[in-house]
Structures are given as structure tokens and as C-alpha cells.
Amino acid sequence: MLRHLIQKEFLQIRRNAFLPRLIVVFPIMMMCVMPWVMNQEVKNVSVDVVDHDRSTLSRQLVQRVEASNYFVFNGQKPTYEAALKDIERMDADIVLVIPQDFSRDLTLGRQPQVLVAANAVNGTKGSIGGAYLSQIVTSHVNPSVEALQSKVSTLFLYNKHLNYKVFMIPALFAMVMMLMCGFLPTLNIVAEKEAGTIEQINVTPVPKWAFILAKLIPYWTIALFVIVVCLLLSWLIYGITCQGPVYLVFVLAMVLALFWSSFGLIVSNYSDTMQQAVFVMWFFVVCMLLLSGLFTPTRSMPHLAYLTTYVNPMHYFIDAIRTVFVRGGDFRSIVHQVCALSAIASVMMVWAISSYRKNH
């Protein structure tokens, strides 16, 4: 019985004008474009310099900024106001103002103040760019600090070159599962509701678990296939591979799939139209994603928001997949997340099956 129902779902997916294309194009788009786009790396910070001193020392400083491949040198401006105008037009991100008598004060042992004014509308960019420019300035004017800084070395574990893609690619798996196992089955069930064919199934002896499983298994299979493709692509295009055991990626993906499918089912059981289902789904997805630590560290959140991460399955998934994929963790290091995720998923599954009614 189950076999026939699953067969039917696969046939319908294949006949659909849109889905087969989505299944092929989606992972490719996901892996070829997303890692380039989802890049919060601070790059190409453009700098305006206002040099009121025009001494050798100040010119050397300017040259040092120009030479740094971190910054894009936008040009010298006569006054701070002129430079500020550049910032207002968003042509420049940071202004470096070297005061008059900069080199004379320095030789006299005074502490001349160099102004670094960063556009902080985008806080991350402002602070990283500003900090980096300050470092250049400090080490330039104060060789002893440079000496001290040289004593401090930094080792970045797991991601030596601070490649942002390493950070983002595992998170993309979460998106794949969300779309394939959450959105698509939901739309499918609501569509059957609207077409009235679900009534026909409801008068047959098909038990509700069979109907639900038959809806989900095709999408689970497709999602796993898509994940395999994504893993391959990430290796082929970026040379990024999973550091931990690969089977854990699939274990995590399956548990997450279970959660998203149950969640989607609950939404479809309570909505009458496609528009409603999509909007409700979208709302929860956005909240869960933003609070999951996918983009920003959960630990920086205020306490109240941080508490929500305890019930946010996406948070456990993102944490665990990064541990496995980036840090090379094994099962022992993600036991806690897997348990939490499975617990949430099972609760949702029970809710989903009990809220689906064949008989009113």
C-alpha cells in the first residue's frame, strides 16, 4: 500500500512542470552562487586620507595604507568635510585624518591624535575596518607597540585562512533541508486539500501514518540526494570537505528533515489556503533562522533571546553541523545536540500525526 502511494508521489513530482527543474538547479545554485553571496567578510574597505601634516612620516603612513591590500585607497582629500562628503555618498568607508604637526609632535614625544572615522552604519564593517586601520597607525607611530604585537601571535584553528565559505557551506545544508522537507511537502498537501483529492484518499482505508509517510519519503530521498550533490560540489569547486565523519552529516540531516517535515505538516493541517501556509511557514522559518546562530553568534544575543535557542532546532543543527564539518568533531562531541534535536523532532512528529484528521 505504502509502495503504491510513494510511487504516486514520485510520478507526480516528475510530471510537475517546476519541481524536477528545482531539484536539479537548486543544489547547483546553492553551491555555486550562495557561498559567494553569503559572505560577510569585510573586504574592499575604501579609505579617504586627509593629510594636514605632509611630512615624510605622514607620507610614509599614507603609503602604508595605500600598500595594504586590505584597503582600497580612494584618494587624498584636502579637508575632513570633503572626505565626509565622500562617506555620505558612500564612496568611502573610512576617513584617516593626520593632524598638522603630526611628525613634529611625535618627535617631541607628544601624543598626536590621528583621527580614524569609520562609517558604522554597518557595524561589523566599521569596527573591523577601523580596528585594522588603527593597528596600522599605532604600529607605524609606535614601534614598541609593533614589537609587542609581534610577540602576540594568533592561531586560527580549523579555518586557518579565515575562509568565510567554510563557515557558510555547512549552514547551506540547513537551507536545503528546510526547502526540500519543509516547504515542498507542505505546498503539496495544501494543494491536494484545495483540489479535493485528499477527500478521496480519506475515504480509503489508508492509515494516516501511511499517507503522511508516503508524502514525506520522496522528499527525504530527494533531500539526501541533494546533500550528496552539495557535498560533492563543495569538494570540487572550493576544495572544502567535511572534516569529521561524513555519516554524521547525514544523521543530522535526517533528524532535521524529520523536524521540518513535521513542522510543515502541522502548518498544512491548520491552513486552508496555500497563501496562508506559505506565509505562516515563512514567518517561523525567518525567526528560527535568525535566532539559530547561522549568521550571527548566539552568544552575543541578549539573555532573553539566547533562551529561545534552547528550543530552536535550527540552533542545535547549525552548532552540530559546524562542529562536524568544520571542526572535525565526532559523534561524542555532538551527542548533546543530536539528542535535543531528536527530542524536538519527535514531539513535532507526534503533534503532526495527531493533528491530521481523517474523520471530523
Q: Which listed residue (60, 107, 113, 354) binds other proteins by CB under 8 A?
A: 113
Of 164-172, 226-234, 258-266, 339-347, which part binds other proteins (CB under 8 A)?
Answer: 164-172
Q: Which is nearer to other proteins, 228 or 290 (CB)?
A: 290
Alpha-carbon distance of 223 to 225, in angstroms, equals 5
Query: Strand 94-98 and strand 71-76: pairing?
Result: unpaired
Residue 297 to residues 198, 222, 301, Cα–Cα distance (Å): 43, 31, 7
Site string for other proteins, 53-92 (x = CB under 8 A): ----------------------------------xxxx--
Binding to other proteins by residue 271, rule CB under 8 A? yes
Q: Which is nearer to other proteins, 13 or 231 (CB)?
A: 13
Q: Within 13 A of 244's CA, how many CA atoms are on the CB side?
A: 22
- 321-360 residues near other proteins, rule: CB under 8 A: 322-323, 326-329, 333, 358-360
Site string for other proteins, 190-229 (x = CB under 8 A): -x---xxx-xxxxxxxxx----------------------
- Bridge partners, 76 (sequence order): 49
Binding to other proteins by residue 108, rule CB under 8 A? no
Q: Which is nearer to other proteins, 228 or 358 (CB)?
A: 358
Alpha-carbon distance of 223 to 183, in angstroms, equals 12
Calculate the CA 16 to chain-centre distance.
30
Among 186, 187, 171, 181, smallest CA distance to 289 is for: 171
Among 143, 67, 55, 66, smallest CA distance to 99 is for: 55
CB of 233 to other proteins, least distance (A): 17
Q: How many residues bind other proteins (CB under 8 A)?
A: 118
Binding to other proteins by residue 290, rule CB under 8 A? yes
Q: Which is nearer to other proteins, 251 or 291 (CB)?
A: 291
Among 3, 4, 31, 18, smallest CA distance to 229 is for: 31
